[in-house]
Amino acid sequence: MSEVGEVCEPAKARSAAQSGGRSGGRAARVAMRAAPLADDVRPIKGGMVGGTYKPLTEAGMARIHESALQALEVIGFSNAPASGVEILTGAGAVLGDDGRIRFPRALVEDMLAVAARDITLHARDPRHDLHLSGSKVHFGTAGAAVHIVDPVTHDYRDSTAQDLYDAARLVEHLDNIHFYQRTMVCRDVIDNRDMDLNTLYACLAGTRKHVGTSFFDPEAVAPAFDILHMVAGGEDKWLERPFVSNSNCFVVPPMKFAEESCRVMEDCVRRGMPMLLLSAGQAGATAPAPIALAIVQAMAECLAGVVYVNAIKKGAPFIFGTWPFVSDLRTGAMSGGSAEQALLTAGCAQMHRFYNLPGGAASGISDSKLPDMQAGWEQGITNTLAGLAGLNMCYEAVGMHASLLGFCHESLIMGDDLLGQAMRCVRGIEVTEDNTSIEAMKQVCLGGPGHYLGSLQTLELMQTEYVYPKVANRMSPKEWNEAGKPLLLDSAIRRKNEIWAKAGNVIDPAIDAQIRAKYPMHFR
C-alpha cells in the first residue's frame, strides 16, 4: 500500500464509524486502531518531553555538584595512559607525585562552558535522528549480554553475531525503540578485532536507526571507520552525519582510567564519532552505597570525561553517561531492576539537566531470568521513572535479563509495548480549552445516550490520545477463551517471526559485498 493510502486508511475507518457503522461500527473502529498513522498525528514518538519527576531538590543537586568537584580536586584519577596525561595536563589538570591526575575546579568549569549541548545523534534514516536537548526522552537498547535466553525452553546459550544482527532487524521495525546500541557479545568471534568489526556491522546491517557500539581493541578503530566510510559513501558524508556513537567505558570505578578505552576515545573523537562517556559503578561495590554519594561519584567520573573530550577537541559531541548500578547488599549481586536503580537513574537525569548536558543512563534492566511478571514490573518501573525524569537516552530499556547477562528477542518485542505505555506516561495530560469544555458532557448527559462510547469526541481521540499495544492482550475472559486462551509469549513469538520474515539487510548489496570481501563477517 502506498504511503498516501496508509495515511488515509484511519480517516476512512473513522468516517465509517461516525456514519452509524452500517458496515460494522466495531469493525471500523478496530480497523482504525490497526491502521498505521502519519508521524505528525501519532500519540507518542521519540523525543517527547519528560522531566516532571524530580527525586532531587535544587539544594540536593547543588550539594552533589559541589561534592563531585571536591572529589576531582582532592582524589583525582589514577591509571591515565601516557597520551591522556599529556592531553589532560596540557589542558590544566595536575599530575601528582602519586601518579594521580587531579582536576582544578576552574578547569572543570571552563570545559563545561565549551561542552557540546543540544546535540543530534544522527541515524542513516533522518526520520530516526535523536535530538538531545532539554528533557527530550528516547528509549533504546544496550548491554553486553553473553547469553541468549530461550523463553520457551528456559535455556541460556552463548550469544552470536547472528543473534546481534537478528536483534537489530527487530529494532528496525519496533516503533518505540528509538536507537540500537549493541545488546550482546559475539561469542562465536574469537579474535577481539574481528569481534569489534562484526559487532559494528551486524548493527548497521540490521537497522537504519542510530547505532551505538564498543571497541575492545584499539586496533579495531581504523578498520571500523573504513567500514563506516563505505556505508556512509565517503569520509565527508560520515562527518556530515555521524550515525554511530562509541559507548566508551573510559573509567574503571572508583576513579581510575581504563587505559585502552581512553586510547579508543582519543582516536574516535578525532575521527568525528560522538562519545557515550560511560561511568558504570555499582553502588555498594565499586561505587558508594548511599544513593546520593553513588551519584556524586558518577558525576565526578563523567565530568573528568567532559574535560578529557574537550581537551582533545573543544565542542566534540558526547553523551554524559552517568550509569551507576545497584548491588543487593545482602549478596553483592547486581540488582538492576530495583527501586533503588530507578531512583539512581532518575537522579542522574536531573543532574544532566543541572549541567544542561545531553545525558544517558540505564533503565529497563531486569534481574529476572525470563520475560515474566518480575521482568514486567522491573522494566515498567525503571523505564517509566527514567522517562518521567526526562532522561535523554534510556539505555538497556528492553530485552535484558539476568542483570545484563542474558538477552531475549521475544522480550524485545514485548518491551516495545511496554515502552509505548511508558512514553504515554511521559507525554502526560494536555489541558486545553477544547479538552476541558463540558460540551461533550452536555451532549451525553442532557438527552443523550448516557455514555461516550460512540461520541464524536471519543472517536476523534481514539488514535491521537490513546496508545494501543501490539502484543499485549486486552480481551475479556470470554473472548480470550473463545480465541483459544492465547498467551503473551505466543503473540511475541508470532510478531518476532513476522518481522524476521520481512526484515533483511539494510545495507546496499554492492557495499555489503565489498565489506564482506574485505572483513570476515560471521552473520548472514
Identify the DSSP state of 471: S
**Angle between helix 339-355 and 373-388 (nearest 10):** 20
pLDDT category, 14, cuts 50, 70, 90? Answer: very low
Q: What is the dihedral of CA 274, 392, 159, 469, to 10 degrees?
A: -140
Q: Let me know the angle formed at the C-alpha of 126 by 410 and 196, rounded to the nearest 5 degrees.
A: 55
Q: Give percent of the chain above pLDDT 70.
A: 93
pLDDT at residue 241 in the model:
98
Q: What are phi and psi of 275, to 5 degrees?
A: -105, 135
Residue 434 confidence (pLDDT) above 90: no
pLDDT at residue 456 in the model:
85
DSSP for 400-456 reads EETTTTEE-HHHHHHHHHHHHHHHHHHH-----TGGG-SHHHHHHHSSS-SS-TT-H
Model pTM greater than 0.85?
Answer: yes
Q: What are phi and psi of 400, to 5 degrees?
A: -95, 130
pLDDT category, 171, cuts 50, 70, 90? Answer: very high
Residue 6 confidence (pLDDT) above 60: no
Q: What is the dihedral of CA 159, 161, 163, 168, to 10 degrees?
A: 130
Residues 462-506: tens digit of each pLDDT = 888 899 999 999 999 999 999 999 999 999 999 999 999 999 999
Residues 114-150: tens digit of each pLDDT = 999 999 999 999 999 999 999 999 999 999 999 999 9
pLDDT category, 27, cuts 50, 70, 90? Answer: low
pLDDT category, 7, cuts 50, 70, 90? Answer: very low
* 472, three cell numbers: 499485549
Cell 502484543, located at residue: 471
Chain-centroid distance of CA 8 in Å reads 32
pLDDT category, 25, cuts 50, 70, 90? Answer: low
Residue 13 confidence (pLDDT) above 90: no
Residue 234 confidence (pLDDT) above 80: yes
Residues 374-412: tens digit of each pLDDT = 999 999 999 999 999 999 999 999 999 999 999 999 999
| Largest Cα span, the chain | 86
Rounded to whole angstroms, how far apart are CA atoms 352 and 459?
40
Residue 8 confidence (pLDDT) above 90: no
Mean pLDDT of 198-226: 97
Return mean pLDDT, the chain. 93
Q: What are phi and psi of 231, to 5 degrees?
A: -65, -40
Residue 360 confidence (pLDDT) above 50: yes
Residues 275-307: tens digit of each pLDDT = 999 999 999 999 999 999 999 999 999 999 999
- Yes or no: say if 80 and 257 are a contact pair by the CB < 8 Å rule: yes
pLDDT at residue 460 in the model:
83
Residue 344 confidence (pLDDT) above 80: yes
Closest by alpha carbon to 220, among 199, 203, 254, 197?
197
Mean pLDDT of 337-346: 96
Rounded to whole angstroms, how far apart are CA atoms 96 and 103?
11
pLDDT at residue 20 in the model:
42
